[in-house]
Amino acid sequence: MDRQKAKHLVIKAGFELVNSGLIARTWGNVSCRIDDKTFVITPSGRSYSTLRPEDIVEVSISDLSYQGSIKPSSEKGIHAEVYRQFPNINFVVHTHQEKASALSAAGLGAIPVPEVTPTFSREVLCAKYALPGTKALRKNVSETLGQSKSNAVILKNHGALCYGKDYDSTLKTAYDLEDICRDFIDTKSREDGLSPSEPIDDTAPIPSLLKEAKKSILAEKGGYVVLNTDPDVIRYSHMTKPLRPYLDDFAQIIGLKASIVENNKSLISKALSHSSAVFIKTPAHCVGGKMKWMQKQRA
The CATH number linked to 111 is 3.40.225.10
DSSP H/E element including 197:
none
Q: Where are the alpha helices (DSSP H) in 43-123?
A: 76-85, 98-104
Q: What is the pLDDT of residue 223?
A: 55
Identify the pLDDT of residue 299.
Answer: 43
Could you tell me which residue, 68 or 60, shows the higher pLDDT?
Answer: 60
Residues 280 and 175 in one domain: no
Regarding whether 218 and 76 lie in a shared domain, the answer is no
List, for residues 97-115, the tens digit of each pLDDT value. Answer: 989 998 998 889 999 999 9
pLDDT for 29: 94
87 and 16 belong to one structural domain = yes
Domain that includes residue 86, residue range = 3-191
Let me know whether 242 and 159 are in one domain: no
Same domain for 48 and 164? yes
Distance, in Å, from the CA atom of 201 to the CA atom of 147, rounded to the nearest integer, reads: 49
Structural domain includes residue 196:
no
Number of domains in the chain: 2
Distances (CA, A) of 233 to 236, 287, 289: 5, 8, 14
Q: Is residue 219 part of a domain?
A: yes
Beta bridge partners of 121: none
Confidence band of 247 (pLDDT split at 50, 70, 90): confident
Burial call 128-142: b when 16+ CB within 10 Å, e when fewer: ebbebbeeebbbbbb
Of residues 66 and 204, the one with the higher pLDDT is: 66
Residues 185 and 234 occupy one common structural domain: no
Q: What is the dihedral of CA 76, 77, 80, 84, to 10 degrees?
A: 180
Looking at 160, 191, 222, the residue that finishes a domain is 191
- Mark out the alpha helices in 132-290 (DSSP H runs): 135-147, 167-191, 208-211, 217-220, 231-237, 248-254, 265-272
217 with 166, same domain?
no
Q: What is the pLDDT of residues 128-155, one digit of tens each?
A: 998 888 899 999 999 999 999 999 999 9
- Domain final position from 191, 221, 248: 191
pLDDT band at 245 (very low <50, low <70, confident <90, very high): low
Over 90: is that where the pLDDT of 283 sits?
Answer: no
Question: Which pLDDT band holds residue 198 (cuts at 50, 70, 90)?
Answer: very low
Last residue of a domain, one of 191, 217, 249: 191
- The answer to whether the CB of 29 falls within 8 A of the CB of 73 is yes
